[in-house]
């Protein structure tokens, strides 16, 4: 397999004026993905597919919203991994807060 890595050169800010912004965006997305995986891993141990009470308690969610939030977290990770085609990355930022 050929290398597909694309380096971002931030060493010439006079020419590459937006390089740092792109590098920051990549870093934030990477961090979001890794945190999402951690959150999902925890959530998987806090429900049985029917009862989400512990998940709601641990993550500070209103009663009855655990399944919805789990689906958003799971769906957003799936979207990042190209497992699912959805807009959960956008929806999670608009529905939670």
Tokens of residue 2, six digits: 């050929």
**pLDDT per residue as tens digits for the range 55-83:** 999 999 999 999 999 999 999 999 999 99
SS3 content of the chain, % helix, strand, coil (to 5): 55, 0, 45
8 Å CB contact between 7 and 22: no
**pLDDT per residue as tens digits for the range 13-72:** 899 999 999 999 999 999 999 999 999 999 999 999 999 999 999 999 999 999 999 999
Q: Per-domain residue ranges for the chain?
A: 49-97
pLDDT at 13: 83
Tokens of residue 21, six digits: 């912004």
Q: From 23, 74, 13, select the one nearest 49 (Cα to Cα).
A: 74
């Amino acid at each position: 397999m050929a290398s597909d890595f694309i380096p971002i050169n931030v060493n010439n800010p006079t020419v590459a004026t937006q390089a740092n912004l792109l590098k920051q965006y990549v870093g934030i997305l990477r961090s979001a993905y890794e945190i999402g995986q951690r959150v999902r891993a925890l959530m998987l141990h806090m429900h049985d597919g029917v009862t989400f009470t512990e998940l709601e308690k641990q993550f500070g969610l209103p009663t009855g919203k655990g399944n919805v939030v789990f689906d958003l977290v799971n769906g957003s990770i799936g979207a990042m991994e190209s497992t699912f085609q959805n807009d959960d990355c956008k929806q999670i930022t608009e529905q939670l807060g």
